[in-house]
Amino acid sequence: MLDNDGPAIDWDSMIFSYQKTDRMYIANCEAGEGWSPGVMQDFQNLSISPAAGVLNYGQGLFEGLKAQRTEDGSIVLFRPERNAKRMQSGARRLGIPVVPEEMFLNAVRQTVLENTRWIPPMGKGALYIRPLLMGSGAILGVAPAPEYKFLVYVSPVGPYFKGGLKPISLKVSDKFHRAAPGGSGGVKAIGNYAPGMVPSKDAKAQGFAEIIYLDAVHHRYVEEVGAANFFCVNDGVISTPELTGTILPGVTRASVIEIAKDMGYDVREEKVDVDYVLNADECFCAGTAAVISSIGSIQHGDRVANFGDGEVGPITRILYDELTGIQQRKIPDERGWTVSVE
């Protein structure tokens, strides 16, 4: 299909992968001073000192949210102020100057608006928005950098897990943990993600879609599924790991909890024992990229638990329809979670 603006985009074969787009936002800040006004520019490489704090010590954060097209063709974001606030809490944790919420939201809006030809038609995917905040100034000792960059770029994406809605198979990692108490697991610090790549790649080589991490202290309570939050359903009760600092507070997670409570479900944020999970009726994971992905099986040591005979569980399905219905404005957004970009 040839879009009249130029690019030949096959919207039906999109996966969750990087695709270069047209325009990006960038702003700079010297430590101790405020952010300079950001600018829109053509998408381009950065020029950065080899001694930049982010390159040497990982002083950086990312965010992830989506812009989607609704039935009437308008463009909507989902609770973007939550991403702005989460990046602020990460900035405080990593000693980075905080990006004001309005600046974050304007940067996201402008970047979406200047890349609208990359937004897939409704139902074909989304425009994934990637804000980045980093220590760009040169520093030799382990300390906060003298200069920072905040930038936003976008990429059109399809489904995160191959196979779309088909329930995924997961494996509990017996060897690795994602985060420890007192660490940085509760913020989207870039350094949290590289250590998960080899475990995840190994699991994929064995035919699993992702791994499940258990807590680092007892190696017993479920924490997360790669870069998505975990839920299970047992006798109609929905459980999700409580936020203890080692779990990333997902916007999708918070939204699923609220939707399910409003629908009358008993939702518990608690320690979720892996043995309880293996006996659950349904399991799913939730995140901006994963949306709500049904889990069909979990392997833990020699044990394999199957859920729902290859079908998406009924409560998982209800929550998926409700969440995606609100996100695409197919059903009324009574909570005011969607924000139009104009």
DSSP 99: P
Per CB under 6 A, the list member of 59, 136, 200, 252 interacting with ligand PLP is 252
Amino acid at 319: L
Q: Least separation, in Å, of the C-beta of 250 and ligand PLP?
A: 3
Nearer residue to ligand PLP within complex by CB, 171 or 188: 188
Which residues are within 8 A (CB) of 107 and not within 5 positions of it... i.e. 6 or more apart? Answer: 25, 27, 38, 131, 150, 152
Q: Provide Rg for the chain, Cα atoms.
A: 20
Residue entry with tokens 């109609």: 236
- H or E stretch including 109? helix 101-113
Q: Is 223 in the site for ligand PLP (CB under 6 A)?
A: no
What track of x and - describes contact with ligand PLP for positions 141 through 180 (by CB under 6 A)? ----------------------------------------
Q: Is 251 in the site for ligand PLP (CB under 6 A)?
A: yes
Nearer residue to ligand PLP within complex by CB, 120 or 131: 131
Q: Least separation, in Å, of the C-beta of 107 and ligand PLP?
A: 18
Catalogue the E-assigned strands of the chain. 23-30, 39-42, 60-62, 65-69, 75-78, 126-135, 147-157, 168-172, 210-214, 222-225, 228-234, 237-241, 266-270, 282-287, 291-300, 303-306, 338-340
Packing angle, helices 80-94 and 251-262, rounded to 10: 130
Of 177, 195, 179, 198, which is closest to residue 187 (Cα–Cα)? Answer: 179
Q: Is 79 in the site for ligand PLP (CB under 6 A)?
A: no
Residue entry with tokens 């985060």: 179
Restricting to residues 177-196, which ones interact with ligand PLP according to CB under 6 A? 188
- In angstroms, how far is CA 184 from the centroid of its own chain? 16
Alpha-carbon distances, residue 14 vs 117, 120, 126, 252 (angstroms): 15, 9, 10, 22
Q: Segment near ligand PLP (CB under 6 A), from 117-125, 248-256, 259-267, 271-279?
A: 248-256
Nearer residue to ligand PLP within complex by CB, 107 or 251: 251
175 is annotated as an active-site residue: no
Nearer residue to ligand PLP within complex by CB, 136 or 288: 288
Nearer residue to ligand PLP within complex by CB, 147 or 224: 224
Q: Segment near ligand PLP (CB under 6 A), from 1-9, 123-131, 246-254, 273-281?
A: 246-254
Per CB under 6 A, the list member of 135, 156, 199, 287 interacting with ligand PLP is 287
DSSP 97: P
Q: Is 288 in the site for ligand PLP (CB under 6 A)?
A: yes
State the catalytic residue, choosing from 66, 149, 171, 188: 188
Catalytic residues: 188
Task: Report the interface residues with ligand PLP, using CB under 6 A.
Answer: 64, 188, 224, 227-229, 248, 250-253, 287-288
